[in-house]
Each structure stands twice: as structure tokens, then as C-alpha cells.
């Protein structure tokens, strides 16, 4: 299959590498010049479950693709949420009538951006449990296992996604069709909407936050705001299951000593966060539906203030 990875950071590198190794015709499109130059010169390098691998995969800057001739069967979007519209604008001429576009970004409401450029019948919305990191430009760190749930946004149903699922599974990416992708997106967004912003603002790992006296009341309030908005979008949330998943993040024996990805982005790498597409999306949707969202609103403001104090880019 001819596949564009649009946004070739940590996750785009994982998917690009695994799909390339499964003999698909893959190209990467990105906006980070140093990363692009490194991959052009040395190939995409990765520590892949402890093994050093290098694959030569074509990569292009998103502002310089007008001469690239590549009629893609599939585009996989892996920008940060705030980069999505710019990327869609850059690649819109490479998205043909039959090109499927799969969005696996964290956060809520990305379909509103994508459908400006792609018919609903070609949009696949998904949720992934794969993880990835970057050690520096051109070098990914890919450990562990994961999975993908995805759903077609039009009325075409499962058959319209069969070919894409088969290609992902051929690359051992463990994909399956979901009849209710919005619920799993909201469930994951609840974990991100609590752990990410709170641990970033409190400069805390997940275990230390979870053991504070106020952890339960703050987390339950945020999840309640997510659940009220989700219900309006026909995405039912099992609140007990969501709270159990969040509390499992506090476990010191497993992942509790880790800092979530937003902490890494802002506090370690001085980068802007995806808060507007997690808690901020709940605030915007809450305004539309007449739902009060004071906790999500305050947390979004605090994270933006921290970004400004740190002069994040």
C-alpha cells in the first residue's frame, strides 16, 4: 500500500518504520527541519525493543511537497493536535478521492479539522495504545506493544476499513474495528485530561499526585465534566472504569513514577502542549452544550500560563 505518514515525530516514526518493514511504500512528511535533514542523511534510526535499526525512508518538508508525485492509498496523521490543520493544508493536494485518512492523535474533535479537507466516508478515527519517544532528531525509541481501534466516520461501516486494518495488522500493529470509537477516545482523553495537566502544573509524577488528599476530588470533578460532554456526543463513559484506569496510573510498581507526556513536552522539552485539544476541547464543547466546566477551564488556563512563563515553542 502507498502510505503517507503526516507528522513523523515519535509515533509517526514508529508507524512509518513498521509499515516500511512490512514492505509498504511509505513516505514521511514533517515540519521539523533538523529531523528531516538527519533522516535524509542517515536514515530513520530507532532503538526498536533493544535492537538498533536504520531504514532509509523518503522524507519531505511539508512546505516543499508540491513536486512530490505520490498517489497515496492511506494517510496516517501523527502531528501534535495544534499542528493538524497546518499539515492538512500542506498535504491536501496529495489526498485523492480514494485516499483513506486515519487520525490517531490524542485529544478530542480532530474530525472537525479533517472533514474540511476529506469526505467523511474516507476518514478513519482511531485510538492507539502504542507508545513512542524521540531521543533526538532522526532517532526514535520504540519499546513495548500496543494496539489500534478505529472506525469509519461515514455510514460505510467496517468493510470500508478492512483493507487498512489488514495492512496495519500485516505490520504487526494490532488493529481492529470499533463500533464506538468516540467512547474509547473520550476514555483515553479522561486519563490525559487528568494526569497530563495536573502532573505538569504540580511538577509531580503520577504516584505522588495520586497520594495527595485532593487527588480524588479533582480527578472526579474533571472526569464528570468530560462525561457530561461525552454524553451529549453519544459517547457513553463508564465513570467507574475511567476512574479505575486513572487510579492505576498511581501505582509505583508499574507506571506511577513516570511523568506523563505533557510534562515531558513542556517541562523537559519546552514545547507547547495539546491542552486545548484535551481539557480545552471540553470547555469549548461545554459552552455549546450549556455544561459548566470550571475544572477543565482552570486547568487549561494554568497550563497556558505555564507555557508562557516557560516561553515554550
What residue has cell string 510534562?
Answer: 263
Catalytic hit among 80, 139, 188, 306: 188
Count other Cβ atoms within 10 Å, centred on residue 210.
Answer: 23
Which range of residues in 19-27, 76-84, 153-161, 299-307 is near ligand NAD by CB under 6 A? 76-84
Q: Residues 80, 100, 139, 187: which binds ligand NAD (CB under 6 A)? A: 80
Contact track, ligand NAD, 239-278, x by CB under 6 A? ----------------------x-------x----x----
**Closest by alpha carbon to 202, among 293, 108, 266?**
266
Residue 221 backbone phi and psi in degrees, to 5: -65, -45
- Minimum CB distance to ligand NAD smaller for 7 or for 193: 7
**Closest by alpha carbon to 3, among 46, 51, 58?**
58
**Closest by alpha carbon to 152, among 119, 109, 189, 122?**
122
**Closest by alpha carbon to 40, among 138, 124, 172, 145?**
138
Q: How many residues bind ligand NAD (CB under 6 A)?
A: 23
Is 32 a binding residue for ligand NAD by CB under 6 A? The answer is: yes
Is 161 a binding residue for ligand NAD by CB under 6 A? The answer is: no
User: Could you tell me whether strands 2-6 and 74-77 are parallel, antiparallel, or unpaired per DSSP bridges?
Assistant: parallel
Site for ligand NAD in 82-141 (CB under 6 A): 105-106, 128, 131-132, 134
Contact call for residues 29 and 122 (beta carbons, < 8 A): no
Is 186 a binding residue for ligand NAD by CB under 6 A? The answer is: no
Which range of residues in 74-82, 91-99, 230-238, 242-250 is near ligand NAD by CB under 6 A? 74-82
Is residue 188 annotated as part of the catalytic site, yes or no?
A: yes
As to burial, measured by CB atoms within 10 angstroms (0-12 exposed, 13-18 middle, 19+ buried), residue 41 is exposed
- Minimum CB distance to ligand NAD smaller for 44 or for 105: 105
Catalytic center residues: 188
Residues that bind ligand NAD (CB under 6 A): 7-12, 30-32, 35, 78-81, 105-106, 128, 131-132, 134, 261, 269, 274
Amino acid at each position: 500500500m502507498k502510505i503517507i505518514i503526516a507528522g513523523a515525530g515519535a509515533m509517526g516514526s514508529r508507524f512509518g518504520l513498521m509499515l516500511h518493514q512490512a514492505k509498504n511504500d511509505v513516505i514521511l512528511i514533517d515540519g521539523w527541519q533538523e529531523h528531516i535533514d538527519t533522516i535524509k542523511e542517515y536514515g530513520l534510526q530507532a532503538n526498536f525493543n533493544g535492537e538498533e535499526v536504520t531504514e532509509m525512508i523518503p522524507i519531505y518538508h511539508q512546505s516543499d511537497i508540491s513536486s512530490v508525485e505520490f498517489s497515496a492509498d492511506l494517510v496516517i496523521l501523527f502531528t501534535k493536535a495544534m499542528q493538524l490543520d497546518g499539515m492538512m493544508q500542506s498535504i491536501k493536494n496529495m489526498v485523492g478521492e480514494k485516499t483513506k485518512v486515519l487520525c490517531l492523535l490524542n485529544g478530542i474533535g480532530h474530525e472537525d479539522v479533517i472533514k474540511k479537507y476529506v469526505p467523511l466516508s474516507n476518514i478513519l478515527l482511531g485510538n492507539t495504545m502504542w507508545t513512542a519517544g524521540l531521543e533526538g532528531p532522526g532517532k526514535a525509541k520504540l519499546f513495548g506493544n500496543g494496539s489500534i481501534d478505529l472506525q469509519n466516520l461515514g455510514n460505510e461501516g467496517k468493510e470500508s476499513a478492512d483493507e487498512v486494518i489488514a495492512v496495519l495488522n500485516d505490520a504487526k500493529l494490532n488493529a481492529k474495528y470499533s463500533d464506538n470509537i468516540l467512547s474509547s477516545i473520550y476514555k483515553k482523553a479522561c486519563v490525559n485530561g487528568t494526569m497530563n495537566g495536573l502532573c505538569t502544573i504540580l511538577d509531580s509524577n503520577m504516584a505522588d499526585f495520586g497520594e495527595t488528599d485532593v487527588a480524588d476530588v479533582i480527578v472526579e470533578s474533571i472526569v464528570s465534566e468530560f462525561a457530561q460532554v461525552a454524553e451529549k456526543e453519544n459517547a457513553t463513559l463508564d465513570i467507574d472504569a475511567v476512574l479505575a484506569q486513572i487510579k492505576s496510573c498511581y501505582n509505583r510498581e508499574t507506571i506511577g513514577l513516570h511523568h506523563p507526556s505533557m510534562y515531558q513536552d513542556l517541562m523537559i522539552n519546552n514545547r507547547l502542549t495539546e491542552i486545548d485539544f484535551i481539557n480545552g476541547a471540553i470547555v469549548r464543547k461545554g459552552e455549546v452544550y450549556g455544561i459548566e466546566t470550571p475544572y477543565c477551564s482552570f486547568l487549561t488556563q494554568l497550563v497556558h500560563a505555564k507555557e508562557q512563563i516557560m516561553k515554550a515553542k
